[in-house]
Amino acid sequence: MLWVKSFHILFVASWFAGLFYLPRIFVNLAMVPPESVAERQRLLLMARKLMRFMTILAVPALVLGLWLWLGYGIGKGPGNGWMHAKLTIVVLLLGYHHACGVMLRRFEAGINRRSHVWYRWFNEAPVVMMLVAVVLVVVKPF
């Protein structure tokens, strides 16, 4: 079980790194002048590769988490409300991941309507979710 936990943490941490960095690429894409085609293409390439890598990391993180939850019973039973809260955070993060994919497709199609400031704020969402998830898992307040 400790190996499963270790790999789960490793994949989740790597997935979060991508969730932190992809919106930073969006900030840069939103700031690219229309005449800078090469810069835009380079940033799009980076964003596509990072999105693919994040998705590859998210799958084993989720599978290992399910294994811990269903296979080992971690978080089951009374007094484990923290697990329900953590699963809510996971669902929100999956939605955030999906939203990043939608935004990337919009950038690729050239139909971005948001400013770089909006993307800077959008970039803060996974930080808040990560902090809440860490507190839930470590402190288990309820």
Annotated binding-site ranges for heme: 8, 86
Cα–Cα distance, 104 to 47 (Å, whole number)? 7
The DSSP line for 85-109 is: HHHHHHHHHHHHHHHHHHHHHHHHH
How would you write 10-58 as a 3-class SS string? HHHHHHHHHHHHHHHHHHHHHHCCCCCHHHHHHHHHHHHHHHHHHHHHH
Decide: 103 and 27 in contact? Cβ < 8 Å.
no
The vertex-3 CA angle with 88 and 130, nearest 5°, equals 30
**What is the helix (H) or strand (E) element at residue 131, kind and residue range?**
helix 125-139
Residues annotated within a binding site: 8, 86
